[in-house]
Amino acid sequence: MGDALPLFVPAVPFALVIGLAVVESGINPFAGWSTSWLIFGGAAQLTLISLLGSGAAVAAAVSAALVVNSRHLMYSAALAPTFQRQTAWFRWVGPYLLIDQLFALSSLEQHAEEQDFRTYYLAAGLTFWVLWLLTTAVGLAIGPVVPESWGLEFAVPLLFLGLIVVGVDKSSKVAAALVGAGVTYLTAGLPNRSGLLVGAAVGILAGTVLERTRR
Amino acid sequence: MTAFLAGVVVGIGTYLSRSIFILALARRRIPDPVLVSLQFVAPAVLAALVVALLTNEDGSVAIGAPEVAAFATGGGVAYKTRNHILTLVVGMGVLWIARAMV
């Protein structure tokens, strides 16, 4: 828990923005908040909620959210050897909690004893989970109180921009982001916001091609 | 109801992506080309999302000068400090000041 709390601090505005986005999008508040325990992954939740609220087709919003969360495949593969030594129930429960922060923490503990790893993983994971559910609920509660003129809907793209800027650590990732943005802009008129998926796909392709030509 | 079901579908998909190697494919490795591509998912999708959120459904731009100013400042703060709270506070602050001036 001691390790989990400092890592939750940066997640606080994220959770609050999700609550606000639910209010903004006009979707059912309980359904919006439920993404916190159904999905338990901020970027995908915010993707789904903001796209449903901006008039995207449900299929496009769901696909985009799934693509956002496909990065978890990397975490699953990286932790698989450690989980092989664990009891069956933990192999089923553990992945549900596997968010970015928990991956970062637990990958440092891979050489711990079975029991120690399990205790550490569950304590950190459940701490995040409880705080996440509470904080998104707080965002939902304060959303209707905030005046429209504050333009809080702008906090969503601003937060995404922050995630991009902090996450790009090499030029091929910058290229993936710029191409993704550019192609999405060019295809923004496509029905049901499907241009987003085209832009994302071309962006991923651009980053991949750049990375491979450089080797 | 639709929103809840959409959450269920994404939730199941997310669980699968987090569990598949742990539960089923523990002895398999992700092929290298896939691994290379996966690292570009987050920047490409997030950038596409930003553009989607800042354009109207007909493809026209939905923001003006205050938003651009807030975005540029927020991006700069994120780059310098790598702090999401500060990025939000400064970005929204610039937005409010710029809107008041326009």
Confidence band of A2 (pLDDT split at 50, 70, 90) = low
- Residue B55 is classified by DSSP as B
Residue B85 near chain A (CB below 8 Å) = yes
Judged against a pLDDT cut of 70, whether residue A150 lies above it is answered with yes
Judged against a pLDDT cut of 80, whether residue A6 lies above it is answered with no
What integer pLDDT is reported at residue A76 of this predicted model? 86
Please state the rounded mean pLDDT for residues A196-211. 92
Q: Hey, of A136, A158, A186, A198, which one would you mutate to test binding to chain B, going by the most B CBs within 10 A of its CB?
A: A158
pLDDT 10s digits, A39-72:
999 889 988 998 898 888 899 899 989 988 887 8
Torsion sign (Cα): A205, B16, A5, A29: positive
What integer pLDDT is reported at residue A211 of this predicted model? 92
Residue B74 near chain A (CB below 8 Å) = yes
Nearest CA in chain A to B46: A160
Å between B19 CA and nearest CA of chain A:
5
Those residues whose C-beta lies under 8 Å from the C-beta of residue B63, and which sit 6 or more positions away, are: B54, B71
What integer pLDDT is reported at residue A91 of this predicted model? 92
Residue A20 near chain B (CB below 8 Å) = no
What integer pLDDT is reported at residue B59 of this predicted model? 81
Q: Where are the alpha helices (DSSP H) in A85-187?
A: 88-93, 100-106, 114-142, 155-167, 171-186
What integer pLDDT is reported at residue B27 of this predicted model? 67
A31, A75, A83: residue with CB nearest B3: A31
What integer pLDDT is reported at residue A147 of this predicted model? 77
> Per-residue confidence of chain B (102 residues) as pLDDT tens digits?
789 999 999 999 999 999 998 888 766 777 888 778 888 888 898 899 899 888 887 888 888 899 999 999 999 999 999 888 888 899 999 999 999 987
**What is the pLDDT of chain A when averaged over all its residues?**
87
Confidence band of A5 (pLDDT split at 50, 70, 90) = confident
Instruction: Count H helices and E strands in chain A, helices first.
Output: 12, 0
C-alpha span between B38 and B33 (Å, rounded): 9
Nearest CA in chain A to B93: A150
What integer pLDDT is reported at residue A95 of this predicted model? 95
Please state the rounded mean pLDDT for residues A198-214. 92
B1, B2, B13: residue with CB nearest A69: B13
What integer pLDDT is reported at residue B75 of this predicted model? 95
Closest among A85, A83, A107, A105 to A95, alpha carbons compared: A83
What integer pLDDT is reported at residue A1 of this predicted model? 60
Could A52 and B50 be called an inter-chain contact, meaning their C-beta atoms sit closer than 8 Å?
no
pLDDT 10s digits, A114-132:
889 999 999 999 999 999 9
What integer pLDDT is reported at residue A78 of this predicted model? 78
Judged against a pLDDT cut of 80, whether residue A102 lies above it is answered with yes
Interface confidence (ipTM) of the complex: 0.86
Task: Classify burial at A161, counting beta carbons within 10 Å of its beta carbon; exposed 0-12, middle 13-18, buried 19 or more.
Answer: buried
C-alpha span between A81 and B39 (Å, rounded): 21
What residues does B55 pair with on adjacent strands? B61
Task: Classify burial at B27, counting beta carbons within 10 Å of its beta carbon; exposed 0-12, middle 13-18, buried 19 or more.
Answer: exposed
Number of neighbours of residue A174 by Cβ within 10 angstroms: 17
